[in-house]
Structure 1
Amino acid sequence: MKNKILYIFIFLSSISFAQSSISELLKKFNTESVPYISVHELAMPKTEAILLDSRELTEFETSHIQNAIHVGYDDFKIETVTNQITDKSTTIVVYCSLGIRSEDIAEQLEKAGYTKVFNLFGGIFEWKNNDFKIYNDKGETNDVHAFSKEWSQWLLKGNKIYD
């Protein structure tokens, strides 16, 4: 009986830890200067936004959220956005693997005068973990670029792809 209680306690503790882990990770790396939007809120039919993928091209080509525009991270140029999105009151959601790189890009958008910029909480990993569809140039896919072995622990669903 003691063993059962111990296993139940460990199991429940791991669930609790897993639910708050992405929050804790983002608090560690982000300043939260850009408001988050949840994957569920973004997936709602009434949410109209332009999606910007701030991952590298290899990650984007592996899979992305439907209709996302690739803007990259290492070679990001604000002109890529300002040339395509001229209305600075347009709702823009920036995402990456988890929401760390996307905060940096979202901050640059705000500095450029965009007023409705959001960071996708948990990024494409959280999107896939919640069973939302992802795509590549051939259509729907189950592959997700996992960025690195370390960061891939946050991707719980889909096929983890590495370079």
Structure 2
Amino acid sequence: MNLINYKLTFCLLIFLSISKIGLGQDEISKVLDTWNKGSIPYAYFNNIPEADSIVFLDTREKEEFDVSHLKNAVWVGYKNFDKEKVRQTVPEKSQPIIVYCSIGVRSENIGEKLKKLGYTKILNLHGGIFDWKNKGGAVFNDKEIVTDSVHAFNKHWGKLLHEGIKVY
């Protein structure tokens, strides 16, 4: 292979690699654009403030939460959303809350319920726990030990999880 062909091949490989890196986020963004209304503003992995006052609410099912969740997150459920647990955990309606689920669809629905309950500072974690893990964020199991496992919800949505060990 001559030098020009080598350079062209190298440039093409670099371009394809860069394109592939951004693909996961584009997939999640497309899903969120399709399924979400934008009623709850997003919090992004790289822009979450380091504040002790932020409460993370996990809006997935209990079996998902037990496999992995964000540090100090409080499980409130989805199908059987526990608003009393929210009231006990977050008594102050102006306390900052970040809701999350696998990618951010179910958490938007719970965020809307929180708004109806009078909470005023609610953000939805863009890309949920999948994007959190994909970007190198730590997740914890039911014993509060760092784990590489993430409940991937199902095989269809699990395609959006590129890091960690998928558990179904």
| TM-score for both structures, normalised by structure 1 | 0.89
Correspondence 1:98-113 to 2 at 5 A: 98-113=103-118
Q: In the alignment, which residue of structure 1 is the partner of 2:73?
A: 68
RMSD across aligned C-alpha pairs, in angstroms? 1.9
SS of the residue corresponding to residue 155 of structure 2 reads coil
Q: In the alignment, which residue of structure 2 is the partner of 1:155?
A: 161
Assess if the C-alpha contact under 8 Å between 1:54 and 1:73 holds in 2: yes
**5+ residue gaps, structure 1:** none
Distance change >3 Å, CA 123–CA 19, structure 1 → 2: closer
Letter in 2 for 1:62: V
Distance change >3 Å, CA 20–CA 70, structure 1 → 2: same
6, 25, 28: which one pairs with 2:31? 25
Deviations 1:19-50 (A, max 9, x none): 322111100000010000011222x4247410
Assess if the C-alpha contact under 8 Å between 1:41 and 1:47 holds in 2: no
Larger-gyration structure (1/2): 2
| TM-score for both structures, normalised by structure 2 | 0.86
Q: In the alignment, which residue of structure 1 is the partner of 2:128?
A: 123
**5+ residue gaps, structure 2:** none
Structure 1 residue 37 and structure 2 residue 43: aligned?
A: yes
SS of the residue corresponding to residue 86 of structure 2 reads helix
> 1:6 Cα shift?
6.1
Letter in 1 for 2:39: S
Matched residues, number? 161
What is the identity percentage for the equivalent residue pairs of Structure 1 and Structure 2? 44
